[in-house]
Amino acid sequence: MENVRTRFAPSPTGYMHIGNLRTCLYEYLIARVNDGTFVLRIEDTDQERYVEGAMDAVFNTLALTGIGFDEGPGKEGAYGPYIQSQRRNLYKEYAVKLVESGHAYYCFCTKERLDSLKTGDSQLGTSFNYDRHCRNLSKEEIEANLKAGVPYVIRQKMPVDGTTTFSDLVYGDITVENKTLDDQVLLKSDGLPTYNFANVVDDHLMKITHVVRGNEYLSSTPKYNKLYEAFGWEIPTYIHLPPIMKDAHQKLSKRNGDASFLDLVDKGYLVEAILNYIALLGWSPGGSEEFFTLAELEKAFTLDGLSKSPAIFDIEKLKWMNGEYIRRMSPKAFLEAAKPWLTEGLGEELAADEAVLTKIAGLVQPRTVILSDIPERISFFGNLPDYDTVLFCHKKMKTDEENSLVALKELLRFFQNYKGVWASNDLYGEICGLAGTIEMKNSQLLWPLRTALSGRDVSPGGATELAEILGQTETIRRIEIGIDMLGG
């Protein structure tokens, strides 16, 4: 089999959103699974829409995800350059070739004429198609216009009747009537190619075998095929992907911050989890295994698992998967990843204590869904928040303000005299023992303790786990505060 070559061809007009990334991922995987080549090509022929920094976003995203390209900017292969603006002089030659072979023609129509055609059409409620005014100009007219320097574009000459059928790997065979095909512009009056034209020329020149893109291109694909045929080039395999939706009606858009890959990373989603989740949006591995690393996807990916219908981006499932990835990390890896967030929650000073940091990380790891949850949940370690004494009342724990006060007084005495090992398990055992001797339920000591230590209705870890981290002095101080608040 010939060498499979796929390409990711972003235009630098904004950041990478989840939909772009998924397309990129699939293109990469199709190459990998076939031992093929993955090419990165930057399509920047529209100078007006160019966005500063957009190229960096592409490179950063690829670097972060581990999706490596085999050829592209900075990694020249045999078919460069890989930035379209650096190929600008290449396309005209091909457009002219098409004119000569009778598959395209010069068009001298003015913008004004085209505009009036359009408004006429929209009044009729029909779609706009160029009226082919210049399609049959005489040789003399063309020569004269060119000589006089009249601005022109080159248009593709579409067949007037018959049908065109193309084959897509996910959508099957699709047939359209040729009369619906517009004589589209190939070369703009500035001498640069349109996207559709540059795409075909570049894909051919770069020997792309599998064209993977969003299904919004489904309706222009017949025009592509006519171009390939006109040149006598081999038509690539098409793989059109359904969109990723924000809800039932709207595609994920660049406007929405959540749709940006880099934003999700900033919010504390793990790169691996995002990649794994989006791989599953529009592709099914067949079995029931849902967890795939990039390396595993490179082996497991199959074209027949691709779906035709749009998928809604479900942040809830991503969250779940992110939590799973976090729980599967080694404590060391988690500490590493969570460090900035832990520091934010604890403050520089407390976070500098490696032992404390490690313990808190241990408490927080099984409870974390996204990293950005962390700071808020652990801030009480550094500063006891103001809290209301109703927190001491818990029906199931059988506590109220009255018996909580009793409990805290007992606990204060206990901690003041405690000489044993300052570790959660030891403390837990001792406190349960104490409960027995003063005839209270374990929970009637533990709940008030946890409340006094955290000032929160929920905390990552139980009473003695918090005490272990807080240390004896701080534990005593917080119990005294609790007693004070309960009017003791």
Partner RNA sequence: GGCCCCUUGGUCAAGAGGUUAAGACAUCGCCCUUUCACGGCGGCGACACGAGUUCGAUUCUCGUAGGGGUCACCA
Distance, in Å, from the CA atom of 254 to the CA atom of 251, rounded to the nearest integer, reads 10
Angle at 435 between CA 429 and CA 436, to 5 degrees: 95
194 in contact with RNA (CB under 7 A): yes
Q: Which of 195, 231, 233, 422 binds RNA (CB under 7 A)?
A: 195
Q: Which of 215, 343, 379, 472 binds RNA (CB under 7 A)?
A: 215
Q: In the bound complex, what is the minimum distance in angstroms from residue 73's beta carbon to RNA?
A: 15
110 in contact with RNA (CB under 7 A): yes
Q: Among residues 142 and 311, whose Cβ is nearest to RNA? A: 311
DSSP-derived letter for residue 303 is G
Q: In the bound complex, what is the minimum distance in angstroms from residue 203's beta carbon to RNA?
A: 13
118 in contact with RNA (CB under 7 A): yes
Subset of 286-325 contacting RNA (CB under 7 A): 286, 288, 290, 305, 307-312, 314, 316-317, 319-320, 323-324
189 in contact with RNA (CB under 7 A): yes
403 in contact with RNA (CB under 7 A): no
Q: 3-class DSSP state for residue 5?
A: strand
Residues 336-355, one symbol each (x = binds RNA by CB under 7 A, - = not), give: --------------------
Query: Token pair of 174, please?
Result: 């699709």
Q: In the bound complex, what is the minimum distance in angstroms from residue 396's beta carbon to RNA?
A: 7
| Positive or negative: CA dihedral 101, 104, 105, 106 | negative
225 in contact with RNA (CB under 7 A): no
Q: Kindly report each contact of residues 381-385 with a partner whose C-beta sits within 8 Å and lies 24 or more positions away, as own/partner.
A: 381/345, 381/346, 381/350, 381/356, 381/466, 381/469, 381/470, 382/345, 382/346, 382/347, 382/349, 382/350, 384/454, 384/455, 384/478, 384/481, 385/455, 385/456
Q: Which of 76, 141, 143, 216 binds RNA (CB under 7 A)?
A: 216
Query: Which bin fits 66, alpha (ψ -120 to 50), beta or left (φ > 0)?
Result: left
Q: Among residues 228 and 320, whose Cβ is nearest to RNA? A: 320
171 in contact with RNA (CB under 7 A): yes
Give how far Cα 306 sits from Cα of 18, 208, 210, Å. 17, 20, 14
Q: Among residues 20 and 260, whose Cβ is nearest to RNA? A: 20
Query: Token pair of 165, please?
Result: 């059928």
Subset of 75-104 contacting RNA (CB under 7 A): none
Query: Is 254 considered catalytic here?
Result: yes
Q: 3-class DSSP state for residue 41?
A: coil
Residues 28-67, one symbol each (x = binds RNA by CB under 7 A, - = not), give: ---------------x-xx--x------------------
Q: In the bound complex, what is the minimum distance in angstroms from residue 87's beta carbon to RNA?
A: 13
Q: In the bound complex, what is the minimum distance in angstroms from residue 348's beta carbon to RNA?
A: 25
Q: Which of 341, 464, 478, 482 binds RNA (CB under 7 A)?
A: 464
Burial (0-12, 13-18, 19+ Cβ within 10 Å), 94: buried
Residues 12-31, one symbol each (x = binds RNA by CB under 7 A, - = not), give: -x------------------
161 in contact with RNA (CB under 7 A): no
Distance, in Å, from the CA atom of 208 to the CA atom of 217, rounded to the nearest integer, reads 17
Half-sphere exposure of 466 (CA within 13 A, CB side): 29
11 in contact with RNA (CB under 7 A): yes
Q: Which of 3, 101, 116, 219 binds RNA (CB under 7 A)?
A: 219
Distance, in Å, from the CA atom of 16 to the CA atom of 14, rounded to the nearest integer, reads 7
461 in contact with RNA (CB under 7 A): yes
Locate tokens 């109220």: which residue?
400
447 in contact with RNA (CB under 7 A): yes
Half-sphere exposure of 156 (CA within 13 A, CB side): 27
Residues 6+ apart with CB under 8 A from 218: 168, 171, 174, 240
DSSP-derived letter for residue 291 is -
Q: Among residues 36 and 278, whose Cβ is nearest to RNA? A: 278
190 in contact with RNA (CB under 7 A): yes
| Catalytic choice (254, 267, 339, 409) | 254
Radius of gyration over every alpha carbon of the chain, rounded to an integer in angstroms: 33
Stretch that binds RNA, among 27-35, 190-198, 334-342, 409-417 (CB under 7 A): 190-198
- The residues carrying an active-site annotation are 254
